[in-house]
């Protein structure tokens, strides 16, 4: 796993300590790292070049004195520029048209057009209280028409029937006529996709565009598509006046560089991001969060992987079962947890994976202290009898002194540990069975 950009820049900065300004020579070296990070995130090469040129201009001669190191300042500049590039434009769907407002969905097969059509229908019904009709112009795949019918019903919208023997243009005319007569606010038009760009497909969708005069022409693109996304985006934006982008499958494990490429090539704003296969898995695109993801700042995914790899699954399951059955969390479990933390390679390796600023706040001295603290806690629990570990409330003052002496610590430390344990126990009681896994999943997303 590649290390986060912030780490790499910090390394360069170590070599140029004392410089208060970003200069031509150090910016070139830093830009090499930024370029690598963007390429690793699957941003297309021409887009990377453009972007680097802009950042370089912005960065040169910038004051970086103050609390930030030049490396962090540079990460800040890159991050802001990424977010600004991806974030311009209006966020929500434009419906400013004589009803029905038509939304035309364009994109390759498998990009997520049908799913996104239903997600948008649900969004417009629930958030904007609109009456929504959907129709499929995909006359090549009967299954695609059926799929739209199914997901439209799930979204609570109405579906306009079409069949493979019709022409897409006729379907479009009939659907818009029906929508007008039945007072629909919005007509969502799903279209045929191909596995690759082809002329006939482009002409067909252009014809649909002329007939439908959509207020929104959305380009649906798979975030996992990587470098290819640029060619697809170029072809679609040359054929159609795109008004927005929907980036799907952002829940996958790509770094999402496609967003930057597609935004730059089409000039259209990224309006939504697909975050799951389910119909409520559509979010307004968050450019800042996405910028962080492209740069791999604070590689949380790697952190979670490390945590789950380090955890002894058998004992984690035993613990989960215990919490679930209400048997209670005792000091033996607490000790298990402490030992697992040690197994994970210590705190310092975990801290390295946290986002730049958070990680930077903990100095080496802090970490050594924290690691020593873990060892002392282990010592304290080991000095207790098994009975005391299962029922810590029986530990009286004299025993506390004995335990402290056994572990070579002050009695206050024993008290502190018992208090901490109590808090942890309270937390565990609140957590039902899968709570811990849920927490990790959240961190991963
Ligand atoms: P179409 O050919 O462009 O209409 O694509 P589909 O809507 O049929 O989607 C293709 C596949 O991608 C399906 O299995 C969808 O469930 C899946 N999919 C679409 N959007 C998302 C998303 O945001 N996240 C995930 N995980 N899967 C998605």
Cα separation, 150 vs 11, whole angstroms: 53
pLDDT at position 298, please?
Answer: 41
pLDDT at position 237, please?
Answer: 95
215 C-alpha to center of ligand 1: Å? 24
Distances (CA, A) of 74 to 71, 108, 225, 357: 5, 37, 28, 13
* Per-residue pLDDT tens digits for 356-366: 444 444 556 66
pLDDT at position 356, please?
Answer: 43
- Greater confidence (374 vs 415) lies with 415
pLDDT at position 67, please?
Answer: 34
113 labeled part of a ligand binding site: yes
May I ask the CATH class of domain 300-444? mainly alpha
Question: What CATH topology corresponds to 5-87?
Answer: 1.20.120
Determine whether the shortest distance from the Cβ of 249 to ligand 1 is under 6 A: yes
pLDDT at position 222, please?
Answer: 93
Determine whether the shortest distance from the Cβ of 224 to ligand 1 is under 6 A: no
pLDDT at position 305, please?
Answer: 39
112 C-alpha to center of ligand 1: Å? 4
Please check whether residue 381 is in contact with residue 334, taking contact to mean a CB–CB distance below 8 angstroms: yes
Closest CA to 257 of 79, 24, 37, 19: 37
Three-state DSSP state, 116: helix
Q: Write the residue with the smallest CA distance to atom 6 of ligand 1.
A: 112
For residue 401, give the DSSP letter. H
Identify the band that residue 355 occupies on the pLDDT scale cut at 50, 70 and 90: very low
For residue 156, give the DSSP letter. T
pLDDT at position 63, please?
Answer: 55
Confidence check: pLDDT of 157 > 80: yes
Cα separation, 94 vs 435, whole angstroms: 39
Q: Write the residue with the smallest CA distance to atom 2 of ligand 1.
A: 110
249 C-alpha to center of ligand 1: Å? 7
The torsion region of residue 249 among left (phi > 0), alpha (psi -120 to 50) and beta comes to left
Ligand 1 atom nearest the C-alpha of 147 is 8
pLDDT at position 22, please?
Answer: 59
For residue 136, give the DSSP letter. E
Cα separation, 387 vs 330, whole angstroms: 10
* Per-residue pLDDT tens digits for 383-424: 898 889 988 989 999 999 999 988 889 999 999 999 888 877
- Greater confidence (65 vs 38) lies with 38
109 labeled part of a ligand binding site: yes
111 labeled part of a ligand binding site: yes
C-alpha radius of gyration, the chain, whole number: 28
251 labeled part of a ligand binding site: yes
250 C-alpha to center of ligand 1: Å? 11
Identify the band that residue 349 occupies on the pLDDT scale cut at 50, 70 and 90: low
What integer is the mean pLDDT of 118-130?
96
Please check whether residue 323 is in contact with residue 438, taking contact to mean a CB–CB distance below 8 angstroms: no
Look up residue 2 and give its two tokens.
């590649």
Mean per-residue pLDDT of the chain: 80
Determine whether the shortest distance from the Cβ of 256 to ligand 1 is under 6 A: no
| Percent of all residues in the chain with a pLDDT value above 90, rounded to a whole number | 40
Determine whether the shortest distance from the Cβ of 257 to ligand 1 is under 6 A: no
Report the length, in residues, of the chain: 445
Complex-level ipTM: 0.99
Q: How many other C-beta atoms can be found within 10 angstroms of the C-beta atom of residue 147?
A: 18
Q: Write the residue with the smallest CA distance to atom 19 of ligand 1.
A: 112
Q: How many other C-beta atoms can be found within 10 angstroms of the C-beta atom of residue 380?
A: 23
Confidence check: pLDDT of 301 > 50: no
* Per-residue pLDDT tens digits for 282-292: 998 988 888 87
Q: State the DSSP string of 18-34.
A: T--B--HHHHHHHHHHH
pLDDT at position 27, please?
Answer: 75
Confidence check: pLDDT of 112 > 90: yes
Cα separation, 396 vs 198, whole angstroms: 80
166 C-alpha to center of ligand 1: Å? 25
Ranges of each domain in the chain = 5-87, 101-286, 300-444
Run of H or E residues at 302: helix 300-310
Determine whether the shortest distance from the Cβ of 111 to ligand 1 is under 6 A: yes
What integer is the mean pLDDT of 168-189?
97
421 C-alpha to center of ligand 1: Å? 45
Determine whether the shortest distance from the Cβ of 298 to ligand 1 is under 6 A: no
pLDDT at position 320, please?
Answer: 62
pLDDT at position 236, please?
Answer: 94
Pocket test for ligand 1, best of 277, 282, 290, 445 (most atoms within 8 A of CB): 277
255 C-alpha to center of ligand 1: Å? 18
Look up residue 258 and give its two tokens.
């496609």
Cα separation, 170 vs 175, whole angstroms: 8
Least confident of 24-33, 184-193, 250-259: 24-33
CATH number for the region 101-286 comes to 3.40.50.300
Identify the band that residue 378 occupies on the pLDDT scale cut at 50, 70 and 90: confident
Ligand 1 atom nearest the C-alpha of 190 is 4
In this prediction the pTM is 0.66
Confidence check: pLDDT of 206 > 70: yes
Determine whether the shortest distance from the Cβ of 107 to ligand 1 is under 6 A: yes
Identify the band that residue 367 occupies on the pLDDT scale cut at 50, 70 and 90: low
Phi, psi of 360, deg, nearest 5: -70, -25
Cα separation, 108 vs 127, whole angstroms: 28
pLDDT at position 292, please?
Answer: 78
What integer is the mean pLDDT of 211-226?
94
**105 Cβ partners below 8 Å, 6+ apart?**
113, 116, 117, 188, 189, 190, 191, 218, 220
Parallel, antiparallel, or unpaired: how do β-strands 186-190 and 216-222 relate?
Answer: unpaired
What integer is the mean pLDDT of 12-16?
57
Confidence check: pLDDT of 68 > 50: no
Please give the torsion angle defined by the CA atoms of residues 232, 238, 241 and 242, in that order, rounded to the nearest 10 degrees: 20
- By CB atoms closer than 10 A (0-12, 13-18, 19+), residue 274 is buried
The torsion region of residue 138 among left (phi > 0), alpha (psi -120 to 50) and beta comes to beta
250 labeled part of a ligand binding site: yes
- Greater confidence (302 vs 266) lies with 266
**199 Cβ partners below 8 Å, 6+ apart?**
none
Determine whether the shortest distance from the Cβ of 113 to ligand 1 is under 6 A: yes
Please check whether residue 82 is in contact with residue 264, taking contact to mean a CB–CB distance below 8 angstroms: no
Determine whether the shortest distance from the Cβ of 109 to ligand 1 is under 6 A: yes
């Amino acid at each position: 796993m590649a290390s986060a950009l912030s780490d790499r820049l910090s390394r360069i900065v170590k070599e140029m300590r004392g410089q208060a300004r970003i200069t031509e020579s150090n910016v070139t070296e830093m830009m090499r790292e930024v370029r690598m990070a963007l390429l690793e995130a699957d941003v297309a090469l021409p887009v990377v070049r453009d972007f680097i040129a802009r950042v370089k201009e912005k960065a040169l001669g910038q004051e970086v004195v103050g609390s930030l190191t030049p490396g962090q300042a540079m990460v800040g500049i890159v991050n802001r520029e990424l977010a600004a590039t991806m974030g311009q434009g209006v966020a929500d769907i434009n419906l400013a048209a004589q009803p029905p407002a038509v939304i035309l969905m364009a994109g390759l097969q498998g990009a997520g057009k049908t799913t996104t059509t239903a997600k948008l229908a649900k969004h417009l019904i629930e958030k904007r209280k609109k009456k929504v009709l959907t129709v499929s112009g995909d006359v090549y795949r009967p299954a695609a028409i059926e799929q739209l019918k199914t997901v439209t019903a799930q979204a609570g919208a109405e579906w306009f029937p079409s069949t493979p023997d019709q022409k897409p243009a006729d379907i479009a005319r009939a659907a818009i006529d029906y929508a007008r007569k039945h007072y629909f606010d919005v007509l969502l038009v799903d279209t045929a996709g191909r596995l690759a760009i082809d002329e006939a497909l482009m002409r067909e969708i252009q014809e649909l565009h002329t007939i439908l005069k959509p207020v929104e022409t959305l380009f649906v693109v798979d975030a996992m598509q990587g470098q290819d996304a640029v060619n697809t985006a170029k072809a679609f934006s040359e054929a159609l006046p795109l008004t927005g982008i929907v980036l799907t499958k952002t829940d996958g494990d790509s770094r999402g560089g496609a967003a930057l490429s597609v935004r730059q090539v089409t000039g259209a704003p990224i309006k939504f991001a697909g975050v799951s296969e389910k119909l409520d898995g559509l979010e307004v695109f968050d450019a800042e969060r996405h910028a962080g993801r492209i740069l791999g700042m604070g590689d949380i995914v790697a952190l979670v992987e490390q945590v789950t790899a380090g955890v002894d699954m058998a004992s984690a399951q035993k613990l989960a079962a215990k919490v679930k059955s209400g048997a209670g969390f005792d000091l033996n479990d607490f000790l298990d947890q402490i030992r697992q933390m040690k197994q994970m390679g210590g705190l310092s390796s975990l801290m390295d994976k946290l986002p730049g600023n958070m990680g930077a706040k903990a100095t080496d001295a802090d970490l050594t202290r924290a690691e020593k603290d873990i060892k002392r806690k282990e010592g304290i629990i080991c000095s207790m009898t098994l009975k005391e570990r299962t029922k810590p409330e029986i530990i009286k003052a004299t025993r506390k002194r004995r335990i402290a002496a056994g572990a070579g610590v002050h009695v206050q430390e024993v008290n502190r540990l018992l208090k901490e344990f109590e808090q942890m126990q309270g937390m565990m009681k609140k957590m039902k069975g899968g709570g811990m896994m849920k927490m990790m999943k959240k961190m991963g997303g």
